[in-house]
Amino acid sequence: MRLPIIAPVCLLSLGFAACTSSGREDVSRDARVTLSEAIVRARTQTGGGTVVQAELEREKGRLICSMDVAHGTEIREIGLDAVTGDVVEDAIEHEDQSKLAAASKIPLDRAVEAALAGTQGRAILARLVFVESKPVAMVTTVGAKGFELVVVDGVSGSVLRRAAAGEEDEEEGEEAEENEQEEGEHAGAATSSAVQYVETFGEDPKDLASTGTNPWFVLEPGYVMELRGKEHGKDVVVTITVLDDTKKIDGVVTRAVEEREVVGGEIEEVTRDYFAISKRTNNVYYFGEDVDEYEDGKVKSHGGAWLAGEKGARYGLIMPGVPTVGQAYCQELAPGVGMDRARVVSLDGSFECPAGKFTHVLETEETNPLEKGAREKKLYARGVGILRDGDLVLVRYGKQ
């Protein structure tokens, strides 16, 4: 899941300041305890609580991992020797971080793991902050490309943004922040051309299930939706059925969802889309599709088929567990085959169609870099799923 489009000014300047405080030194080289391990130990040391900040730093020549653990209206300051793993500090401060702790749905070590996923880097600082009333984790990492700031959604665990953290960038970030304040711009106000789509979601495969219900996406066997409309002057009927069938893709057991398209009374395409839902974030992920394209009632091709884990393809996010306006995410990550992506436009719309009248409708805008200029609006209702897909609208839904 992605937050409203976040400009560098509000996040990166904070992250760069964090990097500067460590003197740009790669303190992680000498550490025997990783930042994630230290965070877990801090929780154990304090008997629970939420770690809101963790940093590797040198104090009087000693390599320390300093952590702030929120307990109600107090902060436990835990210092861990990053070489021996011994606790060297345990103190209490009267600082209230309870709102931040309650809002964050993933532990800070999971945010660190998401930031490092697919890299050979190491984390030296991580902290939870509020951005536009939404919790995010800012993780400073160091690797082959130098320092990098990674912004992770505090609810879903999705990586929202990556940016190089260089001295020049820090100065530019501070200057941009001053300019933004002068112009009264909002951090979430960005043009569509500046949209950055999340590609990495930080899920543990063990948390993914083949059955479940997201408020906007039902993944329960037997659930059916039917959409109708006209395209190019022909009647189109699309029937979407959640099947009993499952398929293991890239190590994950996924649920098959059949989408049958009839145009002008003749079958045109049948796809089997494969999805899994996270038990942790409630995000629904798309693992690929098998495609049968028809001509004169016979299968003629399989264009557009792809599966995660094959030919460089990876799973994408089809529906966030907690959508927020401005979220932008990749739905398909199959280079040269399927690269659909979506952005959440609204959460408070209304829509009437043959299936009923709906309020608090979720609206997304889909684009595809393989199809320049193509844009498609989709509407979703809570507990139902899709209401409108281009010129097609929902006419019936429910368990069959």
- Find the angle CA(8)-CA(155)-CA(205) to the nearest 5 degrees: 110
pLDDT over 90 (residue 364): yes
- Cβ(228)–Cβ(393) below 8 Å: yes
Instruction: Say yes or no: 137 and 215 in one domain.
Output: no
- CA Rg, the chain, in Å? 23
3-7, 197-201, 317-321: least confident range: 3-7
Structure confidence at residue 16 (pLDDT)? 38
In a domain, 200, yes or no: no
133 in the Ramachandran plot: left (φ > 0), alpha (ψ -120 to 50) or beta?
left
Instruction: Say yes or no: 176 and 29 in one domain.
Output: yes
26-40, 51-65, 103-117, 371-385: least confident range: 26-40
CATH no. for residue 264? 2.40.360
172-176, 349-353, 377-381: least confident range: 172-176
A 10 A CB-CB count for 268 gives 16
pLDDT in tens, 330-352: 999 998 888 899 999 999 899 99
Q: What average pLDDT does the structure give for the chain?
A: 83
325 membership: H or E segment, kind and range? none
Instruction: Taking residues 252-277, report their average pLDDT.
Output: 96
Instruction: Say yes or no: 155 and 224 in one domain.
Output: no
pLDDT in tens, 60-106: 778 889 999 998 888 899 998 888 888 988 888 877 888 888 888 88
Q: How many domains does the chain have?
A: 2
* Residue 337 domain boundaries: 205-399
Q: Pick the closest to residue 182 from 9, 393, 362, 391 (CA basis).
A: 9
In a domain, 3, yes or no: no
- Cβ(271)–Cβ(338) below 8 Å: no
Top-confidence residue, 223 or 198: 223
